[in-house]
Amino acid sequence: MPIPGPALTARIEPNATAPELIRNFCIIAHIDHGKSTLADRMLQLTGVVQSRDMRAQYLDRMDIERERGITVKSQAVRMPWATADSDGVETPHALNMIDTPGHVDFTYEVSRSLAACEGAVLLVDAAQGIEAQTLANLYLAMENDLEIIPVLNKIDLPAAQPEKYAEELANLVGGDPADVLKVSGKTGEGVEALLDRIVERVPAPVGDADAQPRAMIFDSVYDTYRGVVTYVRVVDGDLSPRERIQMMSTRATHELLEIGVISPEPYKTKGLGVGEVGYLITGVKDVRQSKVGDTVTNAAKPADEPLGGYDDPKPMVFSGLYPIDGSDYPTLRDALDKLKLNDAALNYEPETSVALGFGFRVGFLGLLHLEIVRERLEREFDLDLISTAPNVVYDVTLEDGTEVKVTNPSEFPGGKIREVREPVVKATVLTPSEFVGAVMGLCTDRRGQMEGMDYLSEDRVELRYTLPLAEIVFDFFDNLKSRTRGYASLDYDATGDQAADLVKVDILLQGEQVDAFSAIVHKDAAYEYGVRMTAKLKEIIPRQQFEVPIQAAVGARVIARETVRAIRKDVLAKCYGGDISRKRKLLEKQKEGKKRMKNIGSVEVPKEAFISALSSDAGGAKESKDKKK
């Protein structure tokens, strides 16, 4: 129940709340399973947001998140909630809801958010059942020893099958299907019971109040006005305003300008004690100075050991980003610089392409990360961009033992190569059992190694594969969706690398290499790639005054060839008096178009042609992995 009076409220003031009154929890859910709506309802029920202030999905700050229904940046909200025991004695609690990113690309961020909690609400759409990615996060939560509270959402939907999916959840987390809570974030049904259940089941945080302070950063967000806002969970000791703090991974020190909690707007407090969750402001401008997973301590009396689990984000997928209008290059550079302030995982360096001009090679955590960055660049900075087909990082060892890291196919070394290693992932696919064959076929085509298969329920199967990451970043998800009529879901996690028989296929126009189309592919797929790309380019390269051969080559060996025949006619047959203005304007337009031509050797190609080839080719990959069904 909402806190009934000021006496109880006093017991849960920030910096003065006994750890046993604190509950730190997160919600694990698939993107469209209603997490934000449920969170909104909790904010309302606990009284931290008045109904009239409510806007849909209060916690998702960015437009892009609101529209896509996904949460990129986690936040933490402190909510008061009272429970009464059998004697009617009321106890106040401070509930910290830590909103986790829901997506596989952000596994590391998810793991840090989970590490800040003692419990997790496993929220599943009662009409859809659990999805692969939720399963992955559930595994993470269980590894972190979190108390799991299974909940079925959207029970108001006509298509809901609460009994069926309660059974599925009970099977997964152990326990009785009857214990699975049934709620509707939309109507609010069952949400009070859920809040009570959280208080009842989630363990209170435990820490040493007298030890040197240690707080774990689980998120870090750049704010235009405040600089970086760092979200922490205090494990030991306490933090207070004006003290000097140290980031343990870098030893960098900062003055703590402000400390506080969010409820749901930030408010300053006198500090944060054991088990509490809140934010810090130090005035730094770049999220890289406040890294997720790092431990904050007191600079004067630092802790001996950082909290475990810190890791630097590693880009897994690379793509070239180019402005469609070359004069937008400086805007793109400034935009990336700005996004970087808020995205510790974003890496980029300038790159030049013969076909596409000036741009950047950008490293991403995964495909969704790529898509989000691209969309933010286009939306917030009004840029039109073209991205090259995403690729992974290869470790190439030459015959002489030299090792080369390749993040761009055009850097793939020529000459004698001893070994090429590529990243591999452990992929989990959940699919209705009728599509098992189709999914297995796809995974086999993509060089997958089956690791296991389990029935989650009678008609739902979990397939586990080891797959080269490169095979996933290229239209795998679209293929999976189309082969399973949209029912399968996918999750993957990097597990290491493997040696593979990989070659670089170059595309040549009249003997000149077109960098944007080089690709690193498995030897067995080289021919197919070569045939496909040469055929595609043949369609879009305008005929020139001479014949233009289009070749695909592995090293010096040509594996596919098409020819664009020479143009024979480029003249308007009739030109009478009434037609002169029109014809002149046509020529002016053609001349304008010529300025947008790129020269590959002596072949003139409209930039649009490259863009269209890349767009259709990267089409599968461009689609974000987990768009709503």
Partner 1 sequence: MPALPDGEPVPDDGTLPAWVAPAAADAAGERPFGVYVHVPFCSVRCGYCDFNTYTAAELGGGASQSQYASTALDEVALAARVLDGAGLGSRPVSTVFFGGGTPTMLPAEDLARVVRGIERTWGLADGAEVTTEANPDSVTPESLRVLADAGFTRVSFGMQSAVPHVLATLERTHDPRRIPDVVAWARDAGLGVSLDLIYGTPGESPADWRASVESALATGVDHVSAYALVVEPGTKMHAQVRRGQLTLPDEDDQAAKYELADDLLTAAGLGWYEVSNWARGPEHACRHNLAYWRGDDWWGIGPGAHSYVSAGRGAAGEHAGVRWWNVKHPRRYAALLAEGRSPGAGRELLTAEEAHLERVMLGVRLREGLDLAVLDDAGRRAVAGLVARELLDGVAALRGRAVLTRRGRLLADAVVRELTA
8: left (phi over 0), alpha (psi -120 to 50) or beta: alpha
Q: Which is nearer to partner 1, 415 or 578 (CB)?
A: 578
587 binds partner 1 (CB under 8 A): yes
In the complex with partner 1, the residue whose CB is nearer, 301 or 565, is 565
Residue recorded with tokens 């399963």: 135
User: Rule CB under 8 A: is residue 594 a binding residue for partner 1?
Assistant: yes
Is residue 575 a contact residue for partner 1 (CB under 8 A)?
A: yes
Cα(471)–Cα(524) distance, rounded to whole angstroms? 13
Tokens describing residue 334: 């400034």
Q: Is 598 in the site for partner 1 (CB under 8 A)?
A: no
* Partners of 407 in the β-ladder: none
Scan residues 198-227 and list those touching partner 1 (CB under 8 A). Answer: none
In the DSSP assignment, the letter for residue 411 is G
Question: What Å distances lie between residue 472 and 105, 230, 385, 439, 616, CA to CA?
Answer: 13, 33, 23, 13, 17
Residues 544-563 interacting with partner 1 (rule: CB under 8 A): 545
The C-alpha atoms of residue 179 and residue 461 are separated, in whole angstroms, by 24
CB 125 within 8 A of CB 52: no
Q: Counting contacts by CB under 8 A, is residue 584 touching partner 1?
A: yes
> Which of helix, strand or coil describes residue 190?
coil
Q: How far is the CB of 583 from partner 1 (least distance, A)?
A: 7
Taking the complex as a whole, the smallest distance from the CB of residue 603 to partner 1 amounts, in Å, to 14
Among residue numbers 221 through 260, which ones bind partner 1 (CB under 8 A)?
none
Interface with partner 1, residue 582, by CB under 8 A:
yes
- Residue span binding partner 1 (CB under 8 A) among the ranges 86-94, 364-372, 389-397, 586-594: 586-594
Q: At its nearest, how many Å lie between partner 1 and the CB of residue 607? A: 18
SS3 119: strand
The answer to whether 571 contacts partner 1 (rule: CB under 8 A) is yes
Angle at 329 between CA 327 and CA 332, to 5 degrees: 130
CB of residue 533 vs partner 1: minimum separation in angstroms? 24
Asked whether 321 and 374 are in contact (CB, 8 A), the reply is yes
523 scored as a contact of partner 1 (CB under 8 A): no
- If the CB atoms of residues 564 and 618 are measured against partner 1, the closer one turns out to be 564
Which residues 50-69 are close enough to bind partner 1 by CB under 8 A?
A: none
Report DSSP state, residue 136. H
Closest to partner 1 by CB, 50 vs 581, is: 581
The verdict on 596 binding partner 1 (CB under 8 A) reads: no
Which amino acid does the sequence have at 308? G
Subset of 362-421 contacting partner 1 (CB under 8 A): none
- Could you say whether residue 581 binds partner 1 (CB under 8 A)? yes
Question: 7 or 580: whose CB is closer to partner 1?
Answer: 580
Sign of CA dihedral 221, 226, 227, 229: negative
Q: Where does this chain touch partner 1 (CB under 8 A) — which range of 137-145, 334-342, 502-510, 579-587?
A: 579-587
The nearest distance, CB 219 to partner 1, in angstroms, is 55
Q: Rounded to the nearest whole angstrom, what is the least distance from the CB of residue 609 to partner 1 in the complex?
A: 18
In whole angstroms, the minimum distance from the beta carbon of 512 to partner 1 comes to 19
CA distance 430 to 132: 5
| Cβ proximity to partner 1, 301 vs 582, nearer residue | 582
Residue 589 makes contact with partner 1 by CB under 8 A? no
Nearer to partner 1 among residue 180 and residue 541 (C-beta): 541
Residue 580 interacts with partner 1 (CB under 8 A)? yes
Q: Does 565 bind partner 1 (CB under 8 A)?
A: yes
Closest C-alpha among 500, 430, 351, 389 to residue 136: 430
Q: Measured in whole angstroms, how far is the alpha carbon of residue 117 from the centre of its chain?
A: 21
Point out which span in 15-23, 241-249, 447-455, 565-573 binds partner 1 (CB under 8 A).
Answer: 565-573
Catalogue the E-assigned strands of 287-375.
295-298, 317-323, 347-353, 357-364
Per DSSP, helices labelled H in 429-570 are 436-445, 469-473, 476-483, 523-540
Stretch of residues binding partner 1 (CB under 8 A), selected from 293-301, 453-461, 512-520, 575-583: 575-583
Assess 300 for contact with partner 1 (CB under 8 A).
no
Residue 178 φ/ψ region, left for φ over 0, alpha for ψ in the -120 to 50 degree band, beta for the rest = alpha
Neighbouring residues of 212: CB distance < 8 A, sequence distance ≥ 6: 236, 237, 297, 298, 301, 302, 303, 304
Does 568 engage in binding with partner 1 (CB under 8 A)? yes
Q: How far is the CB of 586 from partner 1 (least distance, A)?
A: 8
Binds partner 1 by CB under 8 A, chosen from 1, 7, 535, 567: 567
Query: First and final CA of the chain: distance in angstroms?
Result: 36
- Please report how close the Cβ of residue 565 comes to partner 1 at its closest, in angstroms: 8
| Pair 496, 511: CB distance under 8 Å | no
Of 244 and 589, nearer to partner 1 (C-beta) is: 589
Which parts of this chain interact with partner 1 (CB under 8 A)? 545, 565, 567-578, 580-585, 587-588, 590-591, 594
